[in-house]
């Protein structure tokens, strides 16, 4: 076990945490985010092993096992001098931010959802699409249930999309009243027919004018993409726009 430094100057030992689903099922999204962080000058490290936050265990009712996972991770983070975690997983962000403080005595690691990291860096570096309104790409956006309902993160991803040249047409039942894509809570893996049915129901509302349906979660993306061609994961949109701007 070791730690891999992806920048020359580590700074405060900020860990990039892709989450188990992204890291294993959609490694390309993890690599996208690593490239985005690098382009925006955000220092980070990763751990060269697959980490599980314990959320799935907790959702299945194995609370004691989830707590053991949290405590084990905390020891590992401290051993590697991690003081901050940036994650692109809404589910793991919720787990770290809301549940770990109740599981782990002395939990003091700062947690940041990656769209907020990206937004702050874009503003700091004054990166912005300056083209006229008619040249902006018309898109729509799917809120993550965890981000919107449980963590209140709704404006920041929309602001990133706007800064990079997207013009959002909102889908109905969004923000804190978002209609679930159907993948969460283990449904995607354990009841794929139910998950697919929910995805079909959600995809009916995608605005016709939108060229892309941007998903803030790899899990949402995977489920919705199985029934519709418009879904794109957040990192793919952001990285494509940054490259288009020559960054």
Shared-domain flag, residues 64 and 143: no
The answer to whether residues 106 and 157 belong to one domain is no
Mean per-residue pLDDT for 52-73? Answer: 93
What is the chain's mean pLDDT, rounded?
92
pTM for the full model? 0.91
Give the tokens for residue 116: 């907020």
pLDDT at residue 186, as a whole number: 80
Which range of residues forms the domain containing residue 202?
Answer: 127-244
φ, ψ (nearest 5 deg) of residue 63: -65, -40
Q: Do 96 and 132 belong to one domain? A: no
Label residue 12 by pLDDT band (50, 70, 90). Answer: low
**In the chain, what is the straight-line distance between the N-terminal and C-terminal CA atoms, in Å?**
33
Is residue 122 in some structural domain? no
Half-sphere exposure at residue 209, Cβ-oriented, CA atoms within 13 angstroms: 10
User: What ranges make up the beta strands (E) of 161-200?
Assistant: 166-168
Task: Using pLDDT thresholds of 50, 70 and 90, give the confidence band for residue 60.
Answer: confident
Q: What is the CATH number of the domain that holds 9?
A: 3.40.50
Please provide residue 238's backbone torsions phi and psi, each rounded to the nearest 5 degrees: -60, -50
240 lies in the same domain as 134: yes
Q: 107 and 131 share a domain?
A: no
Q: Domain boundary residue among 91, 117, 143?
A: 117
Of 87, 117, 147, the domain-final residue: 117
As for how many domains the chain has, the answer is: 2
Q: Are residues 137 and 194 in the same domain?
A: yes
Let me know whether 70 and 106 are in one domain. yes
User: What are the tokens at 229?
Assistant: 């061609």
CA dist., res. 171 & res. 190, Å (int): 27
Classify each residue of 82-111 as buried b or exposed e, where b means 16 or more C-beta atoms within 10 Å of its C-beta.
bebbbbbbbbbbbbbbebbeebbeebebeb
The interaxial angle of helices 192-203 and 218-225, nearest 10 deg, is 80
Beta bridge partners of 213: 140, 231
In a domain, 47, yes or no: yes
Q: 55 and 101: one domain?
A: yes
Tell whether 75 and 139 lie within a shared domain. no
Same domain, 61 and 152: no
């Amino acid at each position: 076990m070791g730690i891999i430094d992806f920048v020359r100057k580590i700074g405060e030992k900020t860990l990039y945490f892709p989450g188990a689903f992204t890291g294993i099922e959609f490694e390309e999204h993890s690599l996208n985010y690593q490239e985005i962080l690098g382009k925006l000058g955000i220092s980070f490290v990763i751990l060269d092993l697959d980490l599980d936050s314990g959320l799935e265990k907790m959702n299945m009712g194995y609370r004691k096992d989830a707590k053991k996972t949290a405590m084990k991770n905390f020891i590992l983070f401290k051993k590697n001098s991690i003081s901050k975690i940036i994650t692109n997983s809404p589910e793991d962000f919720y787990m770290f931010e809301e549940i770990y403080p109740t599981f782990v005595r002395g939990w003091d690691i700062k947690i940041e959802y990656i769209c907020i990291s990206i937004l702050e860096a874009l503003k700091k570096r004054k990166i912005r699409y300056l083209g006229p309104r008619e040249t902006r790409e018309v898109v729509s956006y799917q809120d993550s249930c965890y981000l919107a309902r449980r963590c209140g993160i709704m404006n920041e991803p929309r602001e990133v999309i706007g800064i990079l040249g997207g013009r959002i047409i909102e889908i109905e039942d969004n923000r804190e009243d978002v209609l679930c894509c159907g993948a969460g809570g283990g449904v995607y893996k354990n009841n794929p027919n139910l998950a697919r049915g929910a995805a079909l129901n959600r995809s009916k509302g995608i605005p016709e004018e939108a060229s892309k349906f941007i998903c803030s979660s790899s899990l949402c993306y995977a489920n919705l993409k199985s029934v519709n061609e418009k879904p794109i994961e957040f990192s793919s949109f952001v990285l494509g726009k940054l490259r288009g701007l020559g960054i």
